[in-house]
């Protein structure tokens, strides 16, 4: 687990996710997210402070605090964007099992890269900062999990997965081993491991004919 950074003095209330405003505001918003990503990539989690983000983005601290209460919450929004690019949620309408398998492989592929490292760091912050925890669940974990559950429900409706288990339990069986390796760090959650996990779990979840 990453070392803890000094807690910054943010406003107490969690603001809503940033929305589009005037062009100048949108430009500042984008600059802040880009600066945060660059700092995480170039200098690491411990270097991520509001002062460092403001300096790199070329904005005032007060501009940042208009939208985010802390640098860790900005990192959550960076994770949302990264996830949508490198490991998008499974989409419905096609082959649901293929969609689950593909998402698992994509998650495993980035688990030890920047997205995985940032997620582990944010999870660490969320253990002692309720604001970060709320942002992480509301903006990243809950939306992605719901997208996965929709695909699992589709697979159950088609008779591809057992319907005597809850979609949430099935999701945990598929994805749990990947996140276990990601958080524990004892072995990398490789794409091969993700494929093996999918295939072995599927054996137990396939309905009896």
At 85-135, the pLDDT tens digits run: 999 988 777 899 999 999 999 999 999 999 999 999 999 999 999 999 999
Q: Which of 9-13, 111-115, 130-134, 158-162 has the lowest mean pLDDT?
A: 9-13
d(CA 26, CA 31): 9
The CATH number for 182's domain is: 1.10.357.10
> Does residue 84 register a pLDDT over 50?
yes
The percentage of the chain sitting over the pLDDT mark of 90, rounded to a whole number, equals: 83
pLDDT of residue 187: 96
- Tell me: do 136 and 43 sit in the same domain: no
Task: Answer whether 136's CB lies under 8 Å from 123's CB.
Answer: yes
Mean pLDDT of 39-64: 97
Q: Judge if 41 and 135 occupy the same domain.
A: no
What average pLDDT does range 6-16 have in this prediction?
A: 47
C-alpha span between 204 and 1 (Å, rounded): 33
pTM: 0.85
Give the percent of the chain with pLDDT over 70. 88
CA gap 108, 196 in Å, rounded? 12
Asked whether residue 82 falls in the same domain as residue 126, the answer is yes
The residue written with tokens 């695909």 in the block is 151
State the pLDDT at residue 5.
Answer: 54
Question: Do 63 and 84 sit in the same domain of this protein?
Answer: no
Say how far apart CA 144 and CA 99 lie, in whole Å.
13
* Per-residue pLDDT at 10 exceeds 50: no
Note whether residue 15 is domain-resident: no
Range of the domain at 49: 23-67
Q: Give, in order, the Cα–Cα distances in Å from 104 to each of 55, 148, 194.
A: 37, 11, 6
Better pLDDT: 13 or 166: 166
Average pLDDT of the chain to the nearest whole number: 90
One domain, residues 60 and 84: no
Specify if 14 maps to a domain. Answer: no
């Amino acid at each position: 687990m990453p070392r803890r950074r000094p807690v910054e003095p943010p406003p107490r209330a969690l603001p809503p996710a940033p929305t589009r405003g005037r062009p100048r505001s949108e430009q500042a918003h984008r600059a802040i997210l880009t600066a945060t990503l660059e700092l995480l990539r170039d200098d690491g989690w411990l270097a991520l402070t509001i002062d460092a983000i403001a300096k790199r983005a070329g904005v005032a601290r007060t501009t940042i605090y208009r939208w985010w209460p802390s640098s860790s919450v900005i990192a959550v929004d960076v994770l949302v964007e990264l996830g949508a690019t490198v490991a998008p949620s499974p989409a419905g309408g096609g082959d649901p099992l293929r969609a689950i398998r593909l998402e698992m492989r994509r998650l495993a592929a980035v688990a030890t890269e920047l997205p995985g490292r940032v997620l582990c760091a944010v999870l660490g912050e969320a253990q002692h900062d309720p604001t970060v925890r709320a942002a992480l669940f509301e903006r990243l974990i809950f939306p992605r999990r719901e997208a996965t559950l929709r695909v699992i429900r589709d697979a159950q409706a088609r008779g591809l997965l057992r319907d005597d288990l809850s979609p949430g339990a099935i999701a945990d069986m598929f994805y749990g081993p990947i996140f276990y390796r990601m958080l524990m760090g004892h072995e990398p959650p490789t794409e091969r491991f993700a494929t093996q996990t999918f295939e072995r779990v599927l054996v137990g979840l396939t309905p009896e004919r």
